Chain A
Amino acid sequence: MIVSLLVLLPWGIALWLSLAQRSAAALSVAGALAEVLLCIPLLAGDPSGLAAVHIPLLGALWQLQSSPLADLFALTVALLLPVALAVQWHHGEYLHQARILAVLQGALMGTFFANNFLGFYIFYEIVALAAAWLILRSGQKDRRAALTFLLYTITASLFLLLAVLPIYLARGNSTGIYDFSWMRLSGSGLSGQIQLLLFLGMLAGLGVKLPLFPLHGWARGAYVQSAPAAALLLSGATVLAGVYGLVHWAVPLLPQGALLFSPAGIILASIGTLYGAFLALSTSELRETVAYSSVSHMNLVALGIFALQEQAWSGALILSIAHAVLAGGLFTVIAILEARGLSSNWDALGGLFRRMPRFGAWTLLFFLMALGLPGLGNFPGEFLTLLGSFQVLPVWAGIATLGMIVNLVVFLRAYERSMLGQLNPRLPGHIADLSQRELWIFLLLGAASLYVGLGSQTLLADFQQLLPVHSHLLLGGMHGGH
């Protein structure tokens, strides 16, 4: 029941925001907070699922079921939305964006909880549409970036659908029950080669959201051209839909295919990790740095998933949660610069620490998180992912590890050019340091980062509950049995 509410509440609020304008800003925040509160009982465990909209031969489309991983991802998204709203609070287009963000949030909740593949697919498409709408109507309002995003995601999700159909037909043929629900689809017993082919199809659809190299072409435009709050949710939250799809649908439905693809996947993802880091190295725009490093981190997540190894999986999941926190921090930094009318190009910055010491200190914290400093959020994920995949394919995992050095150079250089050194004479005479609202955003995100970084075990324990569910499907298919 709660899970359905989690989807419907943001949508209802979005609808209300479109119809009535009165006290809408307060309502959007209240809705976002209510969403967070709704997530809390889930963590205690909410087995009650709801199945509605039964359609013969397809199953119940509205079939939402909570699970430990889904709960965690839902909580992450729910926590990220108030941050995004707070970031954009004084912005002129606040209401407009709040509406789209709410739609996006509801759809994301749907993808996490959907127990029927068609339901998942529909939510997944709504996520894509809402994200494209967000890119189109916020920030630079870049039509081209929105179109590129839409082309990538819609084209790719067709592959996703096409890849699941044979599984559905094969299962239906063998059991006589045609149904798209997770339980009915899993354990199809297709041959390895066919599974590999289908896995590639699903991967195309899901990997594009991560974005997995070389499907990352939309990322730069989407992260750089949209408003910071939008980019925050795009890179922090929508990527979770892709991760969740891989972990909950692609790998369990096609374990043999995933296993066959594993070496190629590790190689691809570690190339992607380095590729993103090197692209971030060759830019002088803070925002592009953030965008490409996000691509790099998500490829590391993919590396962990493809490794099909216990530690790597836990690492990938915790890294994707940490990445949400990180995206929150980094895009808030960008938003603060933008709100003060500052460019995010180094050439226009320099010595900013002198004017905004608080801002400089917090920026350093999130930069350090991005470069994987132990104790902060990204480290446990990076460590576990690399440790796990190292046991599967040492050389390529080692190459991905070298990305940590590149990442360090990227962020230290960006920090040095923008914050340290002589004061840039082109900067305005007075720049306000952090306001109370911005300070609270940073405090929240910083605490979250420390929590993920040092209290990792509380999250990892949740994944332990998740893995047995999947491992009976993988049937020892995971690497490195013990």
Chain B
Amino acid sequence: MADWLFLIPGFPLLGALINALFGEQLGPRWCGRLAASMPFLSSLVVLAIWLGPGTQPALLDRLWTWMTVGNLHVDITLRLDDVSLVMVSIASFVGFLIHLFSQQYLHGDYGERRYYFYLNLFVSGMLVLTMANNLLLLYLGWETVGLCSYALISHWYRESENAWAGRKAFVVTRIGDTTLLLGIFLLFAQYHTLTISKLLPLVQAHPAPALLLAASILILIGAYAKSAQFPFHIWLPDSMAGPSTVSALIHAATMVTAGVYLCIRLLGLFAVVPGMLEAIAVLGAFTAFFAASCGLAQVDVKRVLAYSTISQLGYMFMGVGIGAPSLGLFHLLVHACFKALLFMASGAIILIYAEDHDIRHMGGLKYRQPFLRWTFLAGIFALAAVPLISAAFYSKDAIINASYLVAGGGVPYALGLSGAVLTAGYAFRLYFLVFEGKPSELEEPYQMGWGMKIPLAILAAGSIGIGWLQFPPGWPGPHLWVHWLAPELGLPPRPLGLEGMLLTIIGALATFLGIGLGYWAARRERAGRGLSRWRFLASGWWIDGAILRLVPAPFYAFGRLLRGGVENLGVQGLAQGGMRDGLRLSAYALARGENGLASRYAVSMIAGLLLLLLLIWTWPL
């Protein structure tokens, strides 16, 4: 079975290749069908692994040697263990659902073929990223998905703003990529290996505190930039310029979770550095709170969801930081379901409202689009973590509750809990504004086909039901997830007994409080006095604007300075001009000597003779 692992990323890659080489002959319809079948085939292989050998022990598939120089040895080797099996399942299956959804959603769009090419390439890159056996192969996948994110955000390239948004996303994440690369350099300089499974034991056996601190900060910046964590989150709200399916796949379900995945993978590294995990937990909780507060004031349906993604990723990081990586991964899975659902549904909503993103112009959609309403509501339930009947109640609340137990968990717990209130607030504000109230006259008739309904239905079922894999400790019902991952990730701290019950009830109360907040916010918004008028929240605490004003300008100015001051004046002007003028002057001087006056020649000849004689006479022999 292990020998077939390459098929998982191989199928989408093949699809992308065929599309690139023969796409013109196939035509956009067949490109789309081909593209959709590729992740489906991948998920069949993944399913076979679930049913067949499983991933205990981890499966390895060594393909070929990438580079071997001296003590550096990098193979293209795929590795599948429990953690990556979860990621691979998400990437291939959710990827397939989104491909399926795109068939109708993007029909007739310009650049359909380009879209499917990048979508296939993306799935392939994401699969390589998750299955990478060494850090460099992971980096290959990491950059490939970054590229696809860029290309797909700029998909509607004829608007300059979209192209700009794509570039912004790529540049911000590339900053993180570069620090990640520097972190890799540091680790290699000390431990001489890039293979993750060899590196981590070495790190634990021979910790080098200062170097590991530097390396883990650098790697963490990479993860934060990819996962849009504060203050690198600025690219994600703008990335909504791309098609909603792209947001669903890349900016909700898969790529942005790569940072969390990397942290889970390298947990052994962060754990060695004192204080690192605590910092991750606090930063994650802060991002969760901060982004949720911004989400409350957005009027663009997709920007609400974008801030929500940032916030939910914060919870995942918090889970990793408090020593509950399996819960973080669980929330990652749950989030992939409901956020992909919400993004795809919002894509349909935007189509219905004729490309209008403003939720203040919407309302009463439940009457004409009941299917859309119920699936969307399932997603909103999961986002708000409504008790018992939503998956996030079992994942997100579990993270918040667990944080209460760990030492120094007070700050993350407080931030996480208030974030949960805000989360339920913006989730239901969005729902009330779009689906409840009087029907808006901007609405256009739109019939969703099966290709759109099936993915929504499957994801809605997941948003409700996946949580039942892992009930809170002490409750009757299955506790599969945490125990299944325990060999790799260990058991998270679990609140038991009365304490656990109290924490759960507090979490549930927070959700209901948030729903009330959402109802209140939606009513005020309709009355034109909503939170969206609060610039501080709507602009994301002014962070985006401040960074854009302060950071790029010095670089451009520096470039201009180098060009004007050093290159033009120094290199071209002084050095080159000086050389040219010097040669011209000496040529002139020599030419003046050749004047044809034979008597002067005679004088200089005799002078030269005398000089030579003098030299010979005084030469020390």
A residues at B contact (CB < 8 Å): 147-148, 151, 155, 214, 216-217, 220, 275, 278-279, 281-283, 310-311, 314-315, 351, 353-354, 357, 361, 364, 368, 373-375, 380, 383-384, 386-388, 390-391, 394, 397-398, 401-402, 404-406, 408-409, 412-413, 416, 419-423, 454-457, 460-461, 463-464, 480, 482
Contacts and interface: CB of A to CB of B under 8 A. Distances in A.
A447 B159 CA distance: 32
A408 B143 contact: no
A454 B66 contact: yes
Contact of A380 (B67, B157, B159): B67
B178 interface: yes
Nearest to A310: B70
B560 interface: yes
**What 4 A-B pairs have minimum CB-CB distances, sorted nearest first?**
A282-B559, A420-B163, A421-B160, A310-B70
A314 B171 contact: no
A146 B399 CA distance: 68
A217 B575 CA distance: 9
Contacts of A386: 181, 185
Counting chain B residues whose Cβ lies within 8 A of the other chain, the interface size class is 35 or more
Interface string B189-206: 100000000000000000
B64 interface: yes
Nearest to A375: B140
B150 A281 contact: no
A402 B139 CA distance: 16
Contacts of B512: none
A480 to B, nearest CB: 8
B523 interface: no
Interface in B550-569: 555-556, 558-560, 562-563, 566-567
B533 interface: no
Contact of A409 (B71, B151, B171): B171
B158 interface: yes
A416 to B, nearest CB: 5
Given A217-B571, A283-B563, A390 B185 contact: yes
Contacts of A214: 571, 575
B562 A421 contact: no
A20 to B, nearest CB: 39
B170 interface: yes
Interface stretch (B271-279, B311-319, B474-482, B576-584): B576-584
B145 to A, nearest CB: 11
Contact of A151 (B68, B157, B182, B583): B583
Interface string B334-347: 00000000000000
Contacts of B580: 147-148, 151
Contact of B562 (A282, A375, A398, A480): A282
Contact of B66 (A216, A279, A456, A463): A456
Given A310-B70, A412-B170, 14 more contacts: A148-B576, A275-B566, A278-B555, A311-B70, A368-B147, A380-B67, A386-B181, A391-B189, A404-B177, A404-B178, A412-B171, A420-B157, A421-B157, A464-B69
A423 B136 CA distance: 39
8 contacts: A390-B186, A391-B189, A394-B186, A405-B175, A408-B170, A412-B171, A421-B163, A457-B66
A354 B71 CA distance: 48
A387 B72 contact: yes
A373 B147 contact: yes
A155 B583 CA distance: 11
A412 B149 CA distance: 13
B150 A374 contact: no
B178 A374 contact: no
Contacts of A397: 185
A405 B170 CA distance: 10
A404 B174 contact: yes
A419 B157 CA distance: 9
